[in-house]
Structure 1
């Protein structure tokens, strides 16, 4: 599912950086040093909350409007930004996450493999897929 909610980026004038909140989700808060990092963090927090709500069967809050949240802007530097996530893509990304595994091979086999420019990881993946017929 695709979801879009507003994120509030408040400038921390004393320490620099941003405090990020997703007003429609209680407790959805993050911090960042730069605006780019803040946008990334806002998306990540929204991903976590939307996945959690889906998994727990919770009812999603109605997204607030810009007009409704504009009053929460504390200064001219604060930003209200729409953040969108697609939980199907998030779940697919998590399923496709690469995991390191250590394997033990005879040293001579490693040397011959290197000489022949064998990609051990790719070869192992192929062999496992063939073995499992997936």
Structure 2
């Protein structure tokens, strides 16, 4: 069953200061974690972690867990909790425009000639497909 997509998700995130090891980042509701070296990087990494996790759940048609209240989050020593929001339309758009690899086969002589003329295979293939599909 396809889950209804929301535009904005807000989850509590635990930032655990681990001294010289950096900052552990835990998102209990999504059961994911990562780490970062600085507070600024931890904030950005938490947003990325939430967005890619939700993107994966959406793509797989899985249920997206509801966010807990900050007051429900159990903290340990050196923990702080913060609400982190992600704006999914931007994430979805970036994911749609990501590059994918395709394998193409062409005669060796043609490959050699194209390399001789420094042909950018990816660019040429994209342009040819767009032309074929009448896309600008």
TM range (shorter): 0.5 to 0.7
Give the TM-score of the pair, scaled to structure 1: 0.67
Describe the superposition over 1:7-29 as per-residue Cα deviations: whole angstroms up to 9, x where unpaired.
1110002x241000001122x01
Query: In the alignment, which of 70, 75, 93 is matched to residue 72 of structure 1?
Result: 75
Q: SS of 1:9's equivalent?
A: strand
Q: SS of 1:24's equivalent?
A: helix
Deviation at 1:96, TM superposition (A): 2.4
Count the aligned residue pairs: 120
In structure 2, the gaps of 5 or more residues are: 1-5, 101-112
Aligned to 2:103: none
Q: Distance in 2 between matches of 1:80 and 1:49?
A: 19
Aligned to 1:32: 36
Aligned to 1:6: 12
Aligned to 2:25: 20
Q: Distance in 1 between matches of 2:89 and 2:134?
A: 25
Q: Distance in 2 between matches of 1:87 and 1:11?
A: 28
Q: Distance in 1 between matches of 2:77 and 2:63?
A: 30
1:32–1:58: structure 2 CA closer, same or farther, 3 Å change rule? same
Aligned to 1:95: 96
Aligned residues: CA RMSD: 3.1
Q: Distance in 2 between matches of 1:106 and 1:6?
A: 52
Query: In the alignment, which of 48, 55, 69 is matched to residue 51 of structure 1?
Result: 55
